[in-house]
Amino acid sequence: MTGTERRKRLKLGVIGVGRIGRLHARNLAQRVEEAALVALADVQLDAAQRLAQELDVPPERVYDDPLKLIDDGAVEAVVICSPTETHAALVEAAARARKPAFCEKPLDLDLQRIDRALEAVERAGVQLQVGFNRRFDPTFRAVREAVRSGEVGEPQLLRITSRDPELPPLEYLKTSGGLFLDMTIHDFDLARYLMGREVERVYAQGRALLSPRVAELGDVDTAVVVLEFEGGALGVIDNSRRAVYGYDQRVEVFGSKGVALGENPLPHQRRLGTAGGFSTARLYEFFLDRYAESYVEEMRAFVRCVLEGEEPPVTGRDGRVAVVLGLAAQTSMREGRPVAVREV
């Protein structure tokens, strides 16, 4: 590829203009320098048309059928932000059209459908990146670098705290796939990323402590997961769907030479001291605010890997492994025992 070709702008189409689709579309149109947003698709055509008008996408390239967007000759790569049950089929369709795809997590909730999609991607020889944006958070990247460089020594313990500020709507929970495949799946991927090694065994416990309706759905809202990594290191993930003080996202890797901590960023760094003590800013209330820059960086990484013909930083295999760990956690909680990853 010549230098001129490397500098060209990649023409992308976004499928699904819900909350995350709108975010990616705006980032591609306004903040990713090597990207050109040229098409949108959503079954709710009017929603896609409104976003198209905002972002100057030509009206003739706004579709209510995602397959039409994939087949559009002007679209060079596809960003899939539609509901989970459509992900695998759309990845396959993009592969058949020989177009690279970025797909939001999870790839699917069924491993057989994931495998068919990954086989199609491999046959086509195109890139597939999965949307695990937390790998692109600057604080978490710095923790990973401390592990990779050996500054913390041999990693021995990992801790991830991930707590949402509020329980999602019950209608959302009905189709979410459950806590481990909807929320903890990010932490499973982050655990592998931070430690630089694979998980061999999972033990999970969960409870519905926030609402009896969650239990009626067969789900949990509070959980602890213990991970055993290859080589013997241990990890602990704790999750809650409701933290009254804000969106709580922290990591820690403890090793033979020290510890690397990734703390919560704050909207501002002011500390106020009064007769009642010291106070700081509240945590961010929403994941789109907390991880705003990571969403831009992951899309820059996708565009760059397509333009330069490189492997994506988060591969289809990474997406599959995260689902395997989620399924292992579900089995562990249901059966009350540790589950080896090879069992899934």
- pLDDT value at residue 3: 46
- pLDDT value at residue 7: 61
- pLDDT value at residue 86: 97
pLDDT, tens only, 103-131: 999 999 999 999 999 999 999 999 999 99
pLDDT, tens only, 50-66: 999 999 999 999 999 99
- pLDDT value at residue 4: 43
In the chain, where are the structural domains located? 3-126, 135-291+323-343
Q: How is residue 170 written in tokens?
A: 């019950």
Cα distance between residue 191 and residue 328, in whole Å: 15
Q: Which fold has domain 135-291+323-343?
A: Dihydrodipicolinate Reductase; domain 2 (3.30.360)
- Tally the C-alpha atoms within 13 A of residue 176's C-alpha that lie toward its C-beta: 23
Is residue 58 within 8 A of residue 38, CB to CB? The reply is yes
- State the helix-helix crossing angle for 316-335 and 184-195, rounded to 10 degrees: 120
Cα distance between residue 37 and residue 25, in whole Å: 7
- pLDDT value at residue 123: 98
Listed as ranges, residues in the chain with pLDDT below 50 are: 1-6
Residue type, 314: V
pTM for this predicted structure: 0.94
Domain 3-126 in CATH: superfamily? NAD(P)-binding Rossmann-like Domain (3.40.50.720)
- pLDDT value at residue 94: 98
Task: Give CA angle at 337 (251, 130), nearest 5°.
Answer: 45
The one-character DSSP state at 198 is -
